[in-house]
Amino acid sequence: MRVMLFAAAADAALMAALEAEGLRIDHREPPSADAPGASGVLVSSLRDAEQALAAAEPAAVLVGGDGDAALAAALTAVKLSIPTAWLRPGSTTGHPLVERVADRALDATADAAQLAASVRALAAPTITAR
């Protein structure tokens, strides 16, 4: 299953563990606030997320973090009807808007098998039978 992860400084060990559980992770770093032509992190993140999601057509989106880039990724995924999970840091409640936009909040400190099962369950309605 192809999953897109929008997060700054993604945990390489977590990504490897999720891939070992059968998820194909496409990682996207949020755009820089001073990127050419950008008028702020939120605007450039919205543009970047829509282009990336339209091209990749993932079964689900994982959003890491709680800033403007995370909110943009979650909003764009919902707009495109892609199931969305927010990887909530285990030690904080995080950004209330990101949590409200995402279909599900997952504990980023959970083990990879648990996270992969949650992502599969989230995306299950979008997987077509063959």
- What span, in angstroms and rounded, lies between the C-alpha atoms of 127 and 130? 9
Helix (H) or strand (E) holding 64: strand 60-64
Domain covering 2-126 assigned CATH 3.40.50.2000 in the classification: yes
Q: Where are the alpha helices (DSSP H) in the chain?
A: 12-20, 41-56, 68-79, 96-101, 112-123
pLDDT by position in tens, the chain (length 130): 898 888 876 678 888 888 999 999 888 877 655 555 545 677 888 888 899 999 999 999 998 877 788 888 899 999 999 999 988 876 566 667 888 888 888 888 888 899 999 999 998 876 555 4
Show me where the domains of the chain are located. 2-126
Q: How far apart, in Å, are the Cα atoms of 121 and each of 60, 84, 100? A: 10, 11, 19
- What span, in angstroms and rounded, lies between the C-alpha atoms of 95 and 87? 11
